[in-house]
Structures are given as structure tokens and as C-alpha cells.
Amino acid sequence: MLKTTRLDSGLTVVTERVPGARSVAYGAWVGVGSRDESSALAGASHFLEHLLFKGTQSRSTSDIAEAIDAMGGDMNAFTAREHTGFHVKCLDDDGPEALAILADIMSQPLIAPDDVEVERGVIVEEILERDDEPADWVHDLVLESAFVDHPLGRDVLGTQTTIEAMPRDDIAEFFAANYTPANIVLAAAGAIDHDEVCAAGDAICAARRADAGAHERPAPTRPAAVVAVDVQETEQVHLCIAIPTVHQRDDDRYALGVVDQLFGGGLSSRLFQEVREKRGLAYTIYSYRSLFSDAGLLVISAGTAPSKNCDTLEVIGEELTRLANDGVTAKELDIAKRHLVGAFHLALEDTGARMASIASSQLALGRVDDVDTAAQRIRDVSVDDVARVVNDLCAAPRVVAVVGPVSEAEITDRIAGW
């Protein structure tokens, strides 16, 4: 059963009790991410992701780690471009303690100067590690190329320059200004008590500013066709093709999900069958959606040998053209919808996934649909809905990002006919 309560402070609590569950999952989703940082504070949200686990007014770092380990639990966090999440999962008997720890780190983290310096070094190493992984870097490169001179194009980690220069007091002020009650959704799923979660929400708010952080989010301009190549002597060429599409609040997001699935989302998808199974051009080939509050991309990703790179690009272009010209079959549509509904239900058997789903939905949409309603929205996608999304995709400019031993001229020449 879903329950939603907006506390007097402005913090929203959303919970779902799962009959028979032995586990509980709690999460605090904050509506601030790398998009909301100034250029000088690029990476501040991710910096805070690290620092909130470094101790509070009443618990040390080791107190937190030992308590979570002793209950066999898992506690972690992540940073995205429009939100940051902190979450914990454990057995139901340990739920109250785990929830208290989550509330504590969200309400009164120390952000101690010594801890800032330690984590500064850790994050710089994380950035360097990312730079050494071309298969990861290409995904950041395509976003950077799609959203030029816009915060959505920045890497959530920040840069080595901004991290090394960021003052401790600026990080603490960013927390104080943005981790306010109105910007927080506290979610829970499993063997939970809604009133208990609301009490934890009150505990978070007691030590926070009442005013909401001001989020001025200028919309990005529509991406233009561009080729971005980072020449590296790698064994493989890693490529991403990003195509502008609907944002996360658009009703066509369900049809986009179906298009994503049948085009590059599974073993029976067109890209997997054509690029890998029939032609053997790549081991890794797939598509995914990257949706934001006012912009969206469908991204196609592949890793292939330098000698096969141009052929891979050509086949992807051909498949996009075939999708636009021929549409989709009733069989493809049925398989894609059944897969999405099945995967949706299977994922929600895990209390952590269920908690994350309701938290992100509440934060992004201001509501949480019940499972049956959400599944039905997928089942209702029609051939016409898919055709509308496909036509928009195929008429949109394409952003191509490539990392590997190739030249920009080589890539530009091969995609000239797109």
C-alpha cells in the first residue's frame, strides 16, 4: 500500500508496505545535482555524497560503518545531474536503527575540514580512474557534446581543477542552501511503518533550513548535429550516438521506452541482432534513455575494433533509417511491451528497487503511480505512439562521440549520408 505525506516543513514522505517482506529499504532523494552547481562548484553534489558518510554530530564514520555492517545491511549513495540519493537496506528488525542513521547523516553531517581534504584526494583519484576508462568516458563525452555550455553537459564528478580548489565552507554552504526540507523526498519500502518514517522526516527537518533552495534551471538548447572525437590509443573504439527526444515528464516517455527496448534494449532488439548476431561487428551494442526534467536523449552505444568502427556506424545508421521507413511490427511491439512490464514487476520484488522507484517518481513527477497503473501505461502504447516517437527521433540531429584510435574526418565521412 502506497502512502504519501507532506510534512509541515515541506519534506515529502512516500512509503510502500510490501506484505511478506523481511527487508526494509530507506532512501533520501534530494532534488539537487550537478546541474544546479555553479561552474566554480562543479562537483559539489558528488563531494557531499562522499562527505555525508564521514560522521555526524553524534556518530563517527566508524560508528556508521560498524552499525550497518553489524546488521548485514548495505548503505550507499549516488549523484546524478538533477538529484542525489542516499539509501540503506537491511532486515526489518534493524530498520529503526538504519532509518535513524540515514536521518542523522541527512540532518547534521560534520563536513569536517580534515575529512574534506581526505575526500578531495579520493575524488581526484576517481576522476583519474574515469579518464582511464574510455568505455565510461565516451558516455560523458556525448552528454558534454549534446549540451554544450550547459550544466547538463558537465560530468557529475566535476573536474580535477574544481575539486582541488573547492573551499570547505563553500561545500558546507551548498549543503545548507540545497538540502532543505522542500527539496527532500524520504522514501521507504518493505516491512515499514509509515508513521515511523514521518518521524524520521521530522528529525531531518529539525536541523535544516526551512526555506527551499532556489533552483533556476535554464532549459538547454536543442542539441545540434556534432561529431566529437577523443583520439586515444585504445584496443577498441568506443562510440555513442545521442538523439534528442522527449523529457521525463512527457507522456510519450512510455512509447520511447518501447522504442528503446525493441531497437537496442534486449537480445531480440534490432541492433543486437543486426550488429552482433548477424555481422559480428561488436560485442557490446545497446541503447538507453537519458531523460531530464526539460530534455532527453536516446543514446546508442557500441564498442568495436578500429577496423570495424565505420561498418558499425553504417549499420546503426541503416537501422535507424529502416526504423523510420518501415516502422515496427506487431510482434516487435508485443515483445518489447511484455519485456518492459515483466522487468518492471521483477525489479519491484526487491525492496531497494521499489524504494528507488517511488522516490524518483515522487521527486520527478510529484506523484507515485501504483504498479498496475504504471504497467498499464506501457501496455497501452500503440503502433501509432511508437511511430510518432520514431519520426521525431529520425528527424532530429545526431550527436556522435567517439573515443579511440580514429580521426574526426574518418567519422564525419562515414556518417555524411545520415
CA-to-CA distance for 215 and 58, rounded, in angstroms? 31
- Beta strand 237-244 pairing with 296-304: antiparallel
* Cβ neighbour number for residue 405 with a 10 Å cutoff: 13
From 49, 119, 144, 332, the catalytic residue:
49
Q: Establish whether 49 is a catalytic residue.
A: yes
Which residue in the block uniquely carries the three cell numbers 510534512?
Answer: 7
What sign has the CA pseudo-torsion 253, 298, 142, 303? positive
Between 309-326 and 383-395, two packed helices, what is the crossing angle to 10 degrees? 130
Cα distances from 309 to residues 237, 274, 282, 400, in angstroms, run 7, 15, 9, 13
Identify the CA nearest to 117 among candidates 166, 162, 65. 166
91, 72 contact by CB (below 8 A): yes
Enumerate the β-bridge partners of residue 227: 400
Identify the CA nearest to 402 among candidates 240, 244, 243, 287. 240
Active site residues: 49
